[in-house]
């Protein structure tokens, strides 16, 4: 097994990173919105293809404001266009950070789980061979083993 995660992140570095992320969160919190999954699903999404359309429409509102519908506030439209553009870099940076953190946590967790399974299997083998102390360790680990529980095995067999 390759061990890719072999350099522990020092706790002081994690604390500094957490403090800085909390600082950024506090700084931006008054401006951030929270959407429900349904709101996200049904909302129009500005992407690469629609971006130039939005930019051009916004430019035309400056040249030809007489065509702005009464229900559209020109100031709010400008805020939307500006923030949508300005947030792209921060979203990209935050996404890269999230992906790096998530990937590292996944690899570390996977490798820890793999090592735990190897240890558990070795203790199980030692307990089967009556190695002193192995049975107690095996019985304790067996209670925590994430496999099927006895109740689900019983339920399956009685159906």
68-97 confidence digits (pLDDT tens): 999 999 999 999 999 999 999 999 999 999
Tell which phi-psi region holds residue 44, choosing left (phi > 0), alpha (psi between -120 and 50) or beta: beta
C-alpha to C-alpha distance for 16 and 18, rounded to whole angstroms: 5
Q: % helix / strand / coil in the chain, to the nearest 5?
A: 75, 0, 25
For the chain, the average pLDDT equals: 92
Name the residue among 88, 84, 86 with its Cα closest to residue 54: 84
pLDDT in tens, 18-37: 999 999 999 999 999 999 99
pTM greater than 0.85 (yes/no): no
User: Is 39 inside any structural domain?
Assistant: no
In a domain? residue 32: no
Flag whether 67 is in a domain: yes
Count of domains for the chain: 1
Q: What is the mean pLDDT of residues 101-130?
A: 96
Residue 98 domain-assigned? yes
Return the pLDDT at 146. Answer: 82
CA 13, 15, 17: angle at the middle one, nearest 5? Answer: 70
Domain coverage including residue 103: 46-158
Residue 40 counted as domain residue: no
């Amino acid at each position: 097994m390759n061990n890719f995660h072999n350099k522990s992140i020092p706790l002081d570095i994690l604390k500094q990173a957490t403090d800085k992320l909390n600082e950024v969160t506090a700084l931006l919190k008054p401006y951030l919105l929270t959407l429900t999954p349904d709101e996200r699903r049904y909302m129009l999404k500005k992407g690469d293809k629609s971006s130039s359309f939005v930019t051009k429409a916004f430019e035309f509102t400056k040249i030809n404001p007489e065509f702005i519908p009464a229900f559209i506030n020109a100031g709010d439209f400008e805020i939307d266009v500006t923030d949508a553009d300005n947030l792209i870099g921060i979203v990209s940076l935050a996404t890269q950070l999230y992906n790096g953190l998530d990937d590292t946590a996944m690899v570390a967790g996977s490798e820890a789980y793999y090592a735990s399974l190897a240890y558990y299997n070795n203790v199980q083998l030692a307990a089967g061979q009556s190695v002193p102390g192995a049975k107690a360790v095996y019985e304790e680990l067996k209670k925590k083993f994430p496999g099927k529980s006895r109740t689900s095995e019983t339920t399956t067999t009685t159906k």
